[in-house]
Structure 1
Amino acid sequence: MKQVILLHNPNAGEEDHFKADLTKAIEKEGYRCTYFSIKEDEQWKDQFYEADFAVVAGGDGTVRKVVKELVRRETVNTRITMALLPMGTANNLSKALSLDKETSFENHVKAWKYNKRRRFDIGTLTYDDRSDFFLEGIGYGIFPTLIQTMEKVDVSHLDTTEEHLQLALEKLHQIVLTAEAYHYTIYADKRKYEGRYLLLEVMNIPSIGPNLMLAPAAQIDDGYLDLVTITEKERDAFALHIKKIIDQKKTSFDFQTLRAKKIKIQSINKNIHIDDKYVSTSNGFLTIEIHEHLLDFLK
């Protein structure tokens, strides 16, 4: 009988109900299940590698918290398989794995027995003599501003994930209209590029933020990163693209993208984001690389 460790990021008032229902569903499929609330209990870190695989029930931030522990212990060359139960707002990672949030958790659990796995690459970066990793993407310009903006917005009146995403898109539209463009020097593998951009994103998966598709061709297991740029001249067209998404109208945008394994970026703009985290660097210089197949996901 396989051992599962269930790592859950509970919303207020839902933990007991979820714990009972999901544990029952997992055990019904023949697994032994140990539950941890990732918000309140750090003991899961000690038992992480005793399980056959880890189940992460939450959003993209919860997945990142779990993977952070995995990356921290990578020096011992230990890898664990993960299964996701998408319960966050954007769920960009689950979308990249083709997991449907609307599917019941019982059906997600039943699918694990087929043991279909997806390899997943992880991006790493160094800046200011520090190192970090990313699952979704890192970048300059519009998205660091959006993260700062949303941290200040009162969302207590919003009831659904759709309302949260809609508000984020509306704020994003406002930012696009007024954002400052910066000059960037980019070394992508052995190629050099320069330009002024409103947005510069290094993507590991197709979408970011409020489910905004920036790199439709990005693959999670191909050993490449997709660098996406939007110039100052494209401001109005990109703003219109966002507005049509808000209004639920058909739209497309011709994103300028290049693929590389190693990317270096230099800019006077020192504000970046790493997945959903805002970071201010001291010199605006990043070195970014892709590391192949550091994770396995059940799907």
Structure 2
Amino acid sequence: MKTSLTPPQPSAPAALSIAVAINPRAAFGGRGRNTPGQAGDMVVARLRSAGHVVSVLRRRDYKALQEAVDAEIATGAQALVVVGGDGMVHLGVNALAGKTIPLGIVPAGTGNDAARGLGLDPNDPEAAVERFLKACQSAPRSVDLGRIERAGQGPVWFMCALSAGFDALVNERANGWRWPRGPMRYNLAILRELATLKPLHYSLVVDGAVRQQKAVLISVSNGISIGGGMKITPDAKYDDGLLDLFVVSPVSRLTFLRIYPLVFSGQHTSHPLVSIERVKEVSMASVGLVAYADGERIGPLPATIKVDAGALQLWV
């Protein structure tokens, strides 16, 4: 008697319980597939069509959204997907730092530096969802995070970089203006800060070594870029167990304007007034200076920034 053998069929990927957090603010009021609202609808539909159980998290502001994310994680979500820019990645990172629950990222914002550093196309949210669906069938990737400690405050983690200097001053000024809306507000803030560009005085402790530093900008990077593609530390890696200390020494306005465009291609690193070094811990103080991380306001210095090796699990 002839027996016919049927080859084993591949099993379908197990259904996951996935929380999808969608940026509560549209990207500067834009429309289309790359805005958080439109991209969020697409992400939810695609994940559900793949058989996953999806909880949709939309809230009126970031604080309420963070609380909703924390609640989903506490009640058993197996993954978190954030839809938006670096602020949403920052939210996800702080919900999942030190946990085994993976983070997925769908870029739909104005900066998207974390997405760029992870090889995601910031203009293609559909491709990011497909990357997630493929990645979630395998073990997640472990990456490092930066951890910020300030006296009397709980720790805050970042994916891209902490900045305290010219770019932080620009952010602080732009955030204080209600008009104009969109990227023009940031560009005008740059021009305003350039008009008063001057060296800042920092007290640093870098891996235990005390130093006094004059600079116009200092960043402690975990990723490659900030500010929507400014490749301040183009050789940084998310999984080397180190952070990159980026310093721009005092320069004239004219020299700064010559260096500034080079940052977008990463060609500034050979300039004699630019230094980058690999570190594990930096303590930083500067009177009156406020720090930003992943584009989010952290608060006044002093602060200590440490690397948390392998602190985040990613499905990207």
TM over 0.5: yes
Alpha carbons of 1:225 and 1:79: their partners in 2 closer, same or farther (altered >3 Å)? Answer: same
Post-superposition offset of 1:30: 2.7
Mapping for residues 51-200 of structure 1, pairs under 5 Å = 51-71=77-97, 74=98, 78-105=99-126, 107-115=127-135, 117-133=140-156, 134-154=158-178, 158=182, 164=183, 168-169=186-187, 171-176=189-194, 178-200=196-218
Partner of 1:161: none
Alpha carbons of 1:125 and 1:279: their partners in 2 closer, same or farther (altered >3 Å)? Answer: closer
Alpha carbons of 1:244 and 1:172: their partners in 2 closer, same or farther (altered >3 Å)? Answer: farther
Partner Cα distance (2:276, 2:150) in 1: 23
Asked if the contact 1:201–1:228 (Cα under 8 Å) also holds between the matched residues in 2, the reply is yes
Partner Cα distance (2:103, 2:262) in 1: 36
- Counterpart check, 1:216 vs 2:242: no
1:78-113 deviation per Cα after TM superposition (whole angstroms, max 9, x unaligned):
4210111100110111111111022242x3323234
Structure 1 residue corresponding to 2:72, chosen from 22, 28, 47: 47
Structure 1: gaps (5+ residues): 159-163
Alpha carbons of 1:191 and 1:136: their partners in 2 closer, same or farther (altered >3 Å)? Answer: same
Asked if the contact 1:201–1:229 (Cα under 8 Å) also holds between the matched residues in 2, the reply is yes
Bigger radius of gyration, 1 or 2? 2
TM-score computed with the length of structure 2 as normaliser: 0.77
SS at match of 2:313: strand
Post-superposition offset of 1:18: 5.3
Partner of 2:311: 294
Partner of 1:233: 251
Partner Cα distance (1:200, 1:298) in 2: 31
Post-superposition offset of 1:190: 3.8
Number of equivalenced pairs: 282
Asked if the contact 1:121–1:291 (Cα under 8 Å) also holds between the matched residues in 2, the reply is yes
Structure 2: gaps (5+ residues): 1-14
Structure 1 residue corresponding to 2:268, chosen from 210, 233, 253: 253
Partner Cα distance (2:89, 2:21) in 1: 9
* CA RMSD in angstroms, aligned pairs only: 3.0
SS at match of 2:21: strand
Partner Cα distance (2:78, 2:298) in 1: 35
TM-score computed with the length of structure 1 as normaliser: 0.81
Asked if the contact 2:69–2:95 (Cα under 8 Å) also holds between the matched residues in 1, the reply is no
Asked if the contact 2:39–2:125 (Cα under 8 Å) also holds between the matched residues in 1, the reply is no
The letter for the 2-side match of 1:80 is: I
Alpha carbons of 1:211 and 1:90: their partners in 2 closer, same or farther (altered >3 Å)? Answer: same
Larger strand fraction of residues: 1
Instruction: Calculate percent identity across the aligned residue pairs.
Output: 20
- Counterpart check, 1:8 vs 2:22: yes
Alpha carbons of 1:189 and 1:111: their partners in 2 closer, same or farther (altered >3 Å)? Answer: same
